[in-house]
Amino acid sequence: MSDDFWKREKQKGWLADAEKSGHVADSMDVRLDIVRRMNAGEITLAQGQALLAKIKRGAKAAGKVTRSQAYQGHLPPSAATGGEGEDA
């Protein structure tokens, strides 16, 4: 059980580092902005979901990763330094 805890903590660290350095296309800031726009009535739920899906699809082309990929330790080549993640 303890190993699972530390594995998840490491994964959360990878995600936090990738978001802090701007390597995550669908970062929490982007997601919160979409929710803010939905709450303000600028876009509908379906439009917000489509926008998020478009951002996630375009992540690789933009040289970024998704939150899921960052959580798993997969960082873009420009971000993989010093043994961080599985790709380094």
Is 17 among the domain residues? no
d(CA 78, CA 17): 14
Is 14 among the domain residues? no
d(CA 35, CA 33): 5
Range of the domain at 57: 24-80
Is 38 among the domain residues? yes
Number of domains composing the chain: 1
Is 3 among the domain residues? no
Place of tokens 């330790």: 73
d(CA 46, CA 77): 33
| pTM score | 0.75
Q: Which pLDDT value is given to residue 81?
A: 54
39 alpha carbon, distance to own chain's centre: 22
d(CA 88, CA 83): 5
Q: What pLDDT, in 10s, does the model give residues 8-34?
A: 999 999 899 999 999 999 999 999 999
Q: What pLDDT, in 10s, does the model give residues 37-83?
A: 999 999 999 999 999 999 999 999 999 999 999 998 888 776 655 44
Is 8 among the domain residues? no
Listed residue (18, 52, 20, 14) closest to 33, CA to CA: 52
